[in-house]
């Protein structure tokens, strides 16, 4: 204590006062700290002043952290949780006391990712992780980690903010699902549109969509193609569509479109004049109206070219009509034959062996001529009905041409030039040459009548391979055919006329000039031969009719056997089998007139019974078709088993479809027959039987 000695008294007092102040201040500070009157202590550390907050100094921040919606944790560098706010404890579904002291790794699924985040730290790492709650459920969260600045040596402390993304995820999922639904709908719709387009394309249909407000039409490519437009037009309105229709159809088309908004639909089949080639085509248009908030907005639908279908329909209708007429004609011809038989037979029986005055003879002759004409007409009816007997043989048409040429020359007269042009190497075919001759004659007569002022008739032959398409059109089979074609330079026919040309009794000739059966015979004959007939004609430019006969590779038929010499005497008993009483009476009278004894039977069983009682008959003469059920053919078969030597002569109005098993030599007499024809047939049948039975001399 040497220094105080140097100080004077005043200085000392000042010094003491200062120290007292200092002491008081220090005491006050200590008291304040002790009494908790301070918030923080400031310590002079090596790295500068450090503030230690005391007591509740950080309370507002704690409240802030506790009440915020994010989870907040502080962690050691290796992930141990030092502090957890209530929200984080809530997120992981555990009480906070269990969370603090645990490792954050216990609550996170992606351990690797968390490890990397903690290792990096500091820079504010942020990542989306999945939290695991006490139930094992996962919660999507965003975790961001920052390193807390702590004094040196205290180890790393990290602060983590955990944001619950469940709601975001749920919303994102909803949006994603909505998007997926929408995308699926779009795909579905695109698929539907695509399949529709494919279907329309396959059906050769075009689609169109009319916007009523503007009159604008959206169309598919095939729509424009149907109307004949090759380049897809940019703009197409309802007026464009209407303008494509045939002038006489335009009003109807316009009316259909105008009424569509009211009716809700439209459908019509009308003609268009196709762009480009100017062809008249039938189109089918169908559509429906689509309504919006302000009424009808669009009319949309399809269009198809139905010309071919209409043509096929027309042909089918025609074929069905011809078939029906054929059936009808066949039936009529059968009855008609019986009537002629009665008249003819009665006339023959009446006039046999008697002499009449000149006047009576004249009338009888007229009556006979009438029967003969009726019979001829009937033959043509039967030809059309395809119920005529076909004497089918293999022939070469070219071989027959000279005969035909002579025939045509005679029929045509002097004003028409006849030319015959045989095709090279024409195939053989199977047909009835006599009917072919009749057919050509029928065609020639039509040609002559079409060339009133003279002209040229050309007969040609050729080989033709008929395609599937052509065959379908003419209702025949594809394959090789021989074509016999007659072409004239006459007035020709229009389409309507061609369509009806084959109908029986259809004629353009004056009453009494034609029967209307000529082309019908040609048609029936060709069909019955397994072929067909085609007509091509333009009004004013002549006609061309072709008969197609199926090719045959079989050898040509030899010359026909000459008819056997008739037996001289007409005697013996004949068993007549006929179900029509009047025909039976007429035939019986005719046979008696020829000198035969006649026994009659009304049907097959009756005939067999009669033969059983007395088999002594020279011949059985039977109708083929009888109402009782047993046909003449069946009767003949039974007789042959009982009496092989007994000759059987059959007669019929039409038989072709019924007698497939009659051998070529089997005698058949066509109704109606004359007395001479009957006599001849009976004699021949008896004679042939004798020849067949008699041993060779």
Residues in contact with another protein by the rule CB under 8 A: 18, 21, 25, 28-29, 32-33, 37-44, 48-51, 53, 56-60
Which of 24, 173 has the CB closer to another protein?
24
Return the closest-CA partner of residue 611 out of 572, 577, 650, 571: 577
Angstrom CA distances, 544 to 413, 415, 433, 474, 515, stand at 20, 19, 21, 16, 21
Nearer to another protein, 42 or 172 (CB): 42
Q: How far is the CB of 11 from another protein (least distance, A)?
A: 15
Q: Whose Cβ is closer to another protein: residue 12's or residue 640's?
A: 12
Report the 10 Å Cβ neighbour count for 38.
15
CA dihedral 96, 98, 101, 104 (to 10 degrees): -80
Burial category of 43 from C-beta neighbours within 10 Å (exposed 0-12, middle 13-18, buried 19 and up): exposed
19 or 190: whose CB is closer to another protein?
19
CB of 29 to another protein, least distance (A): 5
Helix, strand or coil, per DSSP, at residue 511 = coil
Least distance (Å) between residue 68 CB and another protein: 17
DSSP at 223: H
β 416-421/455-466 pair status: parallel
Helix (H/G/I), strand (E/B), else coil: 482: strand
Q: How far is the CB of 37 from another protein (least distance, A)?
A: 4
DSSP 3-state assignment of 595? coil
Q: Residue 123 has what DSSP assignment?
A: S
Nearest to another protein of 65, 517 (CB atom): 65
Closer to another protein by Cβ: residue 39 or 571: 39
Q: C-alpha distances in angstroms, 518 versus 169, 384, 443?
A: 91, 9, 7
212, 326, 330, 660 from 656: Cα distances, Å: 66, 14, 11, 7
Nearer to another protein, 33 or 328 (CB): 33
The CB-of-51 to another protein minimum distance in angstroms stands at: 5
Give the shortest CB-164-to-another protein separation in angstroms.
29
Q: Rounded distance, CA 14 to CA 630, Å?
A: 169
State the minimum distance, in angstroms, from the CB of residue 72 to another protein: 18
| Residue 102 Cβ vs another protein, minimum distance, rounded to whole Å | 31
Name which of 29 and 111 has its Cβ closer to another protein. 29
User: What are the DSSP E strand ranges found in 360-493?
Assistant: 393-396, 416-421, 428-431, 455-466, 479-487
Asked if residues 382 and 671 have their Cβ atoms less than 8 Å apart, the reply is no
Q: Which is nearer to another protein, 151 or 251 (CB)?
A: 151
**Nearest approach, Cβ of 35 to another protein (angstroms)?**
8
């Amino acid at each position: 204590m040497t220094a105080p000695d140097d100080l004077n008294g005043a200085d000392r007092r000042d010094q003491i006062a200062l120290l007292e102040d200092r002491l008081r201040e220090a005491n006050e500070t200590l008291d304040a700290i002790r009494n908790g009157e301070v918030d923080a202590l400031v310590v002079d550390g090596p790295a500068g002043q450090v503030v230690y907050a005391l007591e509740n100094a950080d309370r507002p921040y704690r409240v802030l952290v506790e009440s915020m919606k994010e989870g907040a944790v502080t962690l050691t560098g290796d992930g141990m949780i030092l502090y957890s706010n209530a929200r984080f404890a809530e997120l992981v579904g555990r009480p906070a006391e269990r969370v603090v002291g645990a490792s954050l790794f216990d609550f996170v699924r992606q351990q690797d990712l968390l490890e990397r985040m903690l290792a990096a730290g500091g820079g504010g790492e942020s990542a989306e992780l999945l939290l695991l709650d006490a139930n094992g459920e996962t919660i999507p969260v965003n975790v961001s980690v920052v390193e807390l600045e702590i004094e040196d040596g205290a180890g790393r402390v990290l602060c983590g903010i955990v944001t619950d993304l469940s709601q975001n995820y749920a919303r994102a999922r909803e949006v994603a699902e909505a998007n997926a639904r929408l995308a699926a709908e779009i795909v579905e719709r695109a698929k539907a549109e695509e399949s529709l387009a494919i279907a329309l394309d396959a059906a050769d249909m075009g689609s169109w969509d009319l916007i009523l407000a503007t009159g604008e039409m959206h169309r598919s490519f095939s729509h424009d193609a149907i109307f004949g437009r090759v380049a897809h037009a940019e703009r197409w309105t309802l007026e464009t569509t209407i303008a494509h229709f045939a002038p006489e159809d335009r009003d109807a088309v316009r009316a259909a479109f105008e009424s569509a908004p009211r009716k809700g639909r439209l459908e019509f089949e009308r003609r268009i004049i196709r762009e480009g080639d100017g062809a008249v085509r039938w189109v089918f248009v169908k559509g429906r109206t689509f309504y919006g908030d302000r009424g009808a907005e669009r009319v949309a639908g399809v269009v198809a070219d139905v010309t071919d279908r209409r043509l096929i329909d027309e042909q089918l209708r025609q074929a069905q009509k011809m078939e029906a007429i054929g059936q009808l004609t066949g039936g009529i011809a059968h009855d008609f034959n019986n009537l002629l038989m009665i008249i003819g037979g009665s006339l023959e029986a009446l006039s046999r062996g008697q002499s009449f005055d000149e006047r009576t003879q004249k009338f009888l002759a007229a009556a006979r001529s009438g029967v003969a004409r009726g019979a001829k007409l009937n033959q043509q009816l039967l030809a059309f009905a395809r119920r005529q007997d076909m004497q089918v043989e293999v022939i070469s048409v070219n071989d027959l041409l000279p005969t035909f040429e002579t025939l045509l020359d005679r029929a045509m007269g002097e004003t028409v030039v006849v030319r015959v042009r045989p095709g090279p190497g024409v195939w053989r075919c199977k047909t009835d040459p006599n009917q072919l001759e009749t057919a050509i004659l029928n065609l020639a007569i039509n040609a002559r009548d079409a060339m009133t002022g003279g002209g040229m008739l050309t007969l040609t032959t050729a080989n033709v391979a008929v395609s599937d398409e052509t065959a379908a059109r003419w209702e025949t089979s594809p394959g090789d055919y021989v074509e016999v074609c007659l072409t004239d330079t006459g007035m020709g026919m229009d389409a309507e006329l061609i369509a009806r040309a084959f109908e029986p009794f259809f004629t353009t000739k004056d009453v009494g000039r034609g029967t209307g059966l000529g082309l019908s015979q040609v048609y029936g004959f060709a069909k019955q031969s397994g072929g067909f007939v085609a007509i091509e004609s333009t009004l004013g430019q002549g006609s061309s009719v072709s008969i197609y006969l199926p090719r045959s590779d079989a050898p040509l038929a030899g010359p026909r056997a000459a008819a056997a010499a008739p037996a001289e005497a007409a005697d013996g008993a004949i068993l007549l089998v006929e179900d029509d009483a009047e025909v039976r009476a007429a035939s019986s009278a005719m046979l008696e007139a020829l000198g035969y004894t006649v026994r009659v039977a009304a049907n097959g069983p009756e005939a067999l019974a009669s033969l059983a009682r007395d088999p002594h008959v020279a011949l059985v003469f039977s109708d083929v078709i009888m109402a009782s059920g047993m046909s003449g053919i069946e009767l003949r078969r039974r007789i042959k088993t009982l009496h092989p030597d007994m000759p059987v002569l059959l007669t019929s109005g039409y038989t072709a479809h019924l007698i497939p098993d009659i051998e070529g030599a089997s005698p058949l007499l066509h109704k109606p027959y004359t007395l001479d024809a009957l006599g001849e047939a009976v004699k021949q049948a008896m004679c042939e039987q004798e020849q067949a039975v008699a041993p060779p001399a």
